[in-house]
Chain A
């Protein structure tokens, strides 16, 4: 397990970026269903999903969004950050065995509130799957 980064407010620069990758597996989707209680057949039933326009099971959108938690808590800014808000737009579906890249870029910082604003994205081979804006309070 990696150690959480420790960026302080003064260390953060506009344009600063961090990213990491995850492979979306069946077990991740199944585990998320257990945690969230979302057993929609679109995510869980291959035969059902095959009859939809997606032709196969799709990953929960909120499972994808949950990786923003790792981005903020472990990478940018890491342990000194406290989530303030997160907006989400689900743009394209994600399928089993897709390799996704989760990325955050600092687009603003406020000296008065110690809040940094990140443009947060999830891509699969350059195709945007999820888009959003995160605001994080730096405790240091």
Chain B
């Protein structure tokens, strides 16, 4: 799942996939702004067939938080 998540983030934020890790955040990825954050949530909900709550979205500080919320929605991680 991490590979899939990183692929989505790479495409949405236009960064090489090798530059993405669990510590990646709006502070480390230049194009992780409010608009692209919305694009990311939309893609994650479509790809993994989940519906996040507002509180889950506002809770996200890093990629690790995204993975935690995906796990909570039953998405199986391969790492």
Contacts and interface: CB of A to CB of B under 8 A. Distances in A.
A56 B60 CA distance: 56
Interface stretch (A86-94, A108-116, A123-131): A108-116
Nearest to A109: B51
B66 to A, nearest CB: 12
Interface string B29-53: 0000000001101100100000111
Interface residues of B, number: 11
Contact of A115 (B42, B54, B56): B42
Interface in B1-50: 38-39, 41-42, 45
Interface residues of chain B: helix, strand, loop or mixed (majority): helix
A113 B53 contact: no
Contacts of A113: 38, 41-42, 45, 57
- Taking residues whose C-beta sits less than 8 angstroms from the other chain, chain A's interface range is under 10
Interface of A: 84, 110-113, 115, 135, 137
Given A110-B52, A112-B56, 17 more contacts: A84-B38, A84-B42, A110-B41, A110-B45, A111-B53, A111-B54, A112-B45, A112-B51, A112-B52, A112-B53, A112-B54, A113-B38, A113-B41, A113-B42, A115-B38, A135-B42, A137-B38
27 contacts: A84-B38, A84-B39, A84-B42, A110-B41, A110-B42, A110-B45, A110-B51, A110-B52, A111-B51, A111-B53, A111-B54, A112-B41, A112-B45, A112-B51, A112-B52, A112-B53, A112-B54, A112-B56, A112-B57, A113-B38, A113-B41, A113-B42, A113-B45, A113-B57, A115-B42, A135-B42, A137-B38
